[in-house]
Amino acid sequence: MDSPEYFETNSNITLDYINRILMEEDIDDNISVNKGQGALQATEKLFYDILGKFRRGVEEAKKFVPNIEKLVDDTDRNDLSACKRTIEAREQKGKHENEVHPHVEDLELMEPRNIKHLAISTCGRIRDEMFDSVLLCNRQLPGEVAHLRGMMAKETSDKPKKVQRKGCGQGQRKPRSQKEHKEAINLRVFLMQCAQAIACNDHPFASELIKKIRHHASPYGDGSQRLANCFADGLEAHLAGTGSQMYEKLMTKQTSARDMLKAYHLYIVACPFEMVTYYFSNKTIIDVLEGKPTLHIIDFGILFGFQWPCLIQRLAKGEGGPPKLRITGIDVPQPGFRPHERIEETGKRLAEYANMFNVPFQYHGIASRWETICIEDLSIHKDEVLIINRMSRMRKLGDEMENIDSARDRVLRMMKRMNPEVFILGVVNGLYSSPFFPTRFREVLFHYSSLFDMLDTNVPRNHEARILVEKDIFGNDALNVVACEGPERTERPESYKQWQVRILRAGFKQLPVDQDILKRSVYYKEFYHEDFVIDEDSGWLLQGWKGRIIHALSTWKPS
């Protein structure tokens, strides 16, 4: 171990590692937060032992490794493939003094802060100014929406000029809207014909149609062309029988929190769906809490936790001081070598926000399939206000096509046994769960046609975050429906009325839509395009585009 060859070999390796650390701008993204202080100290010791005079370089390298504290590992119980982490943010002395506008509390429950220019840093920190700008609360939403509309108006006004310049001296006419409209209709017809050909095992005809679709489709074109480009990938994978492999590969390439933040920010400025959803949930929680000392939120499908910073900020202003907040974040393990990384980072990010606003906080992360979770793993206490929050991802649970006693029914019965103060549910209103491919394809095509049309109406085509929305929020899910069959098809939505029957059968009673929440949601909808829909039906708050219902929200209590 003390031979010259050993030191020479390790010195070369160390020098190369230091060089990459100091020269690569995005090294933070490649450093796991799970290494912790032990691995950091071991690395430092190696550097100091071999290259003591490079101390300054090592100190620079250390800056790239996040300083993670207050992280306590818990052992797995009940054979769950779960990772449980408890992060406590202790109450600090201090007081936030803010003047409150009559409507500022409502705004804080739903609005992100204004960010005119979204600058993406390559720093690997889990929370910084960019996250604060998007996730914390103020009243700049109308200005952001107006700015996006101005970009759309400019793009629209520039189109005739470009056509004129392109056709100058060639006798071309600039208006070609009828031809473009006809082409858009043909793309949809081609897609439907291709799905039918695949169902009939007419592979030569299906392959020919895919070539035609790809000839007219484009990820940078209008809404119809972008939709066709997305669906062509799914059709081609289905035809080749590689749908599950392709979807698994996409899931392995996890979208970073920063890229998802970019997509999320554009989505909430272009569309009220997510904003109204978070307002509906957060306002319900505030009303149910009523000054009680401890709040426990169990969030099924917490993802990046973007919903909760605004709620934490609002809780900090409660009379008598903030309550003790516990969040149990549940999500399925991520593919790859670090299945628990995202749920851990979400907890650390929320702990930082709790520290920022002096809110006593505890986070418990569980990475597991929902139907395998036991109530004992959730550490529910009798003296706390228990909220179950489940937004839009119940559709990923298995239905009766997999098991007569479906996973979604078992999870609902478990939620009922938890006896929450309120169960807040958001669902994707979809009918594309049919096991018959042509029927399923037709319904999913109609559903995503509305979403792509909504983006095309409200977001410039050259907006850098639009492709992120279309790929990471829409595209991957659409591909799963089109390309996958059997257990690999995880996207299985139902209509809100089907969910209503299912939840009643599980032992819940539905609560009426709070009229103040409905009125405020309609008010905020007015900032957006007139074709957005906010309505109420049978105890559900509905959201849609051009008459098609996309999302539905409701609240429930155990019977």
**Can you give 372-431 as a three-state secondary structure string?**
HCCHHHHCCCCCCEEEEEEECCHHHCCCCCCCCCCHHHHHHHHHHHHCCCEEEEEEEECC
Give the lowest-confidence range in 77-81, 113-117, 312-316, 342-346: 113-117
Task: Please state the separation of Cα 15 from the chain's center in Å.
Answer: 40
Q: Are strands 548-558 and 540-545 parallel, antiparallel or unpaired?
A: antiparallel
Q: Note the pLDDT of residue 291.
A: 84
Q: Are 134 and 113 in contact (CB under 8 A)?
A: yes
What is the C-alpha to C-alpha distance for residues 494 and 501, in angstroms, rounded to an integer? 11
Give me the mean pLDDT over the 177-193 stretch: 70
Comparing 414 with 247, the larger pLDDT belongs to: 414
Q: Are strands 508-511 and 532-537 parallel, antiparallel or unpaired?
A: unpaired
Q: Note the pLDDT of residue 130.
A: 85
pLDDT in tens, 359-374: 999 999 999 988 889 9
| DSSP state for residue 487 in the 8-state scheme | G
Comparing 421 with 250, the larger pLDDT belongs to: 421
Q: Note the pLDDT of residue 539.
A: 97
pLDDT in tens, 383-397: 999 999 998 888 888
162: pLDDT confidence band, cut at 50, 70 and 90?
low
Give me the mean pLDDT over the 73-102 stretch: 41
What is the C-alpha to C-alpha distance for residues 16 and 441, in angstroms, rounded to an integer? 52
Q: Note the pLDDT of residue 165.
A: 47
Q: Note the pLDDT of residue 451.
A: 96
Answer whether residue 55 shows pLDDT above 60: no
Give me the mean pLDDT over the 193-208 stretch: 96
Answer whether residue 61 shows pLDDT above 50: no
161: pLDDT confidence band, cut at 50, 70 and 90?
low
Residue extents of the structural domains in the chain? 4-62, 75-97+271-279+289-430+493-559
Q: Note the pLDDT of residue 106.
A: 54
CA dist 188 to 121, 179, 377, Å? Answer: 39, 15, 48
What is the C-alpha to C-alpha distance for residues 349 and 341, in angstroms, rounded to an integer? 12
Comparing 78 with 241, the larger pLDDT belongs to: 241
Q: Are 300 and 389 in contact (CB under 8 A)?
A: yes
Q: Are 130 and 258 in contact (CB under 8 A)?
A: yes
Q: Note the pLDDT of residue 250.
A: 77
pLDDT in tens, 17-53: 444 444 444 434 433 333 344 444 554 455 445 444 4
Answer whether residue 58 shows pLDDT above 50: no
Give me the mean pLDDT over the 432-446 stretch: 94
* Identity at 406, one-letter amino acid code: S
* Identity at 394, one-letter amino acid code: M
> Can you list the alpha helix ranges (DSSP code H) found in 253-340?
257-270, 273-289, 308-315
Q: Note the pLDDT of residue 403.
A: 75
Q: Note the pLDDT of residue 125.
A: 67
Q: Environment class of residue 34 by beta-carbon count within 10 Å: exposed (0-12), middle (13-18) or buried (19+)?
A: middle
Which residues touch 109 (CB under 8 Å, ≥6 apart)? 137, 278, 279, 282, 283, 286, 310, 311, 314
Comparing 559 with 159, the larger pLDDT belongs to: 559
The top-scoring range by mean pLDDT among 255-259, 489-493, 508-512 is 508-512
Comparing 501 with 92, the larger pLDDT belongs to: 501
Q: Note the pLDDT of residue 8.
A: 40
Structure tokens at 105: 């509390």
- Measured in degrees and rounded to the nearest 5, phi and psi for residue 173 equal -100, 145
What is the rounded end-to-end Cα distance, in angstroms, of the chain?
A: 70
User: DSSP per residue over 205-258, as a string?
Assistant: HHHHHHHHHHHH--TTS-HHHHHHHHHHHHHHHHHHT-HHHHHHHHHHSPPPHH
Q: What is the mean pLDDT of the chain?
A: 79
Q: Output the CATH code of domain 75-97+271-279+289-430+493-559.
A: 3.40.50.150
Q: Note the pLDDT of residue 396.
A: 81
Answer whether residue 402 shows pLDDT above 60: yes
Give the lowest-confidence range in 240-249, 320-329, 494-503, 513-522: 240-249
pTM of the predicted structure, to 2 decimals: 0.76
Give the lowest-confidence range in 157-171, 248-262, 411-425, 471-485: 157-171
Percentage of the chain modeled with pLDDT above 90: 54
445: pLDDT confidence band, cut at 50, 70 and 90?
very high
Give me the mean pLDDT over the 142-159 stretch: 86
Task: Please state the separation of Cα 218 from the chain's center in Å.
Answer: 25
Which residue shows structure tokens 């400025």?
269
Q: Note the pLDDT of residue 542.
A: 98
